[in-house]
Amino acid sequence: MTHAVRPAGDPPDRPDALLVIGQGYVGLPLAMAAVEAGFTVVGFDTDDGRVKRLEAGTSFVDDVSDETLGRALATGRYRPTTEDALCAGFDVAVIDVPTPLHDGQPHLAHVEAAAAMVARHLRPGATVVLESTTYPGTTEELVRPILEEGSGLLAGEDFFLGYSPERIDPGNVTWDLKSTPKVVSGIDAASLSAVAAFYGRLVDTTVPVSGTREAELTKLLENTFRHVNVALVNELAMFAGELGIDIWEAIDAASTKPFGYMRFTPGPGVGGHCLPVDPSYLSWKVRRSLGRSFRFVELANDVNAHMPDYVVGRLVTAFNRQGRAVRGSRVLILGLAYKKNTGDAREAPGTVIVDHLVALGAEVRVADPHLADLEGVDVVELNEAELTTADAVIVVTDHDCFDYDLVRRHARLVLDTRNRLDGPNVERL
> Residues touching ligand NAD: how many (CB under 6 A)?
26
135 forms part of the interface with ligand NAD (CB under 6 A)? no
Question: Within 13 Å of residue 77, how many CA atoms lie on the same side as its CB?
Answer: 17
What is the nearest approach in angstroms of ligand NAD to the Cβ of residue 170?
5
Q: What's the CA gap between 418 and 415, in Å, rounded?
A: 9
Non-local (6+) Cβ contacts of 161 within 8 A are: 127, 128, 129, 139, 143, 144, 147, 155, 186, 187, 191, 212
Strand order in the sheet with 330-334: 378-379, 363-367, 330-334, 392-395, 414-416, 426-428
Stretch that binds ligand NAD, among 42-50, 203-211, 305-313, 364-372 (CB under 6 A): 42-50
Looking at beta carbons only, is 98 or 125 nearer to ligand NAD?
Answer: 98
Looking at beta carbons only, is 347 or 398 nearer to ligand NAD?
Answer: 347
Any long-range contacts for 240-243 (C-beta under 8 Å, 24+ apart)? 241/314, 241/429
Looking at beta carbons only, is 59 or 132 nearer to ligand NAD?
Answer: 132
Residue 69 burial by Cβ neighbours in a 10 Å radius (0-12, 13-18, 19+)? buried
* 274 a catalytic residue: yes
Q: Which of residues 68-97 bind ligand NAD (CB under 6 A)?
A: 96-97
47 forms part of the interface with ligand NAD (CB under 6 A)? yes
Q: Are 395 and 425 in contact (CB under 8 A)?
A: no
369 forms part of the interface with ligand NAD (CB under 6 A)? no
Q: Which of residues 139-198 bind ligand NAD (CB under 6 A)?
A: 166, 168, 170
46 forms part of the interface with ligand NAD (CB under 6 A)? yes
Stretch that binds ligand NAD, among 109-117, 150-158, 301-309, 401-409 (CB under 6 A): 109-117
User: Which one of the listed residues 274, 332, 382, 392 is annotated catalytic?
Assistant: 274
Looking at beta carbons only, is 47 or 384 nearer to ligand NAD?
Answer: 47
What is the nearest approach in angstroms of ligand NAD to the Cβ of residue 153?
20
Stretch that binds ligand NAD, among 21-29, 310-318, 370-378, 381-389 (CB under 6 A): 21-29
3-state helix, strand, coil in the chain (%, to 5): 40, 15, 45
247 forms part of the interface with ligand NAD (CB under 6 A)? no
DSSP output for 246-286: -HHHHHHHHTT-SSS-------S---TTTTTTHHHHHHHHH
Stretch that binds ligand NAD, among 7-15, 38-46, 231-239, 328-336 (CB under 6 A): 38-46
Q: Which of 22, 80, 106, 125 binds ligand NAD (CB under 6 A)?
A: 22
- What is the distance of C-alpha 257 from the center of its chain? 29
Question: CA distances (Å), 120 to each of 146, 148, 321, 332, in order?
Answer: 10, 10, 65, 51
List active site positions: 274
Chain contacts with ligand NAD (rule: CB under 6 A): 21-27, 44-47, 50, 96-99, 110, 113-114, 132-133, 166, 168, 170, 273-274
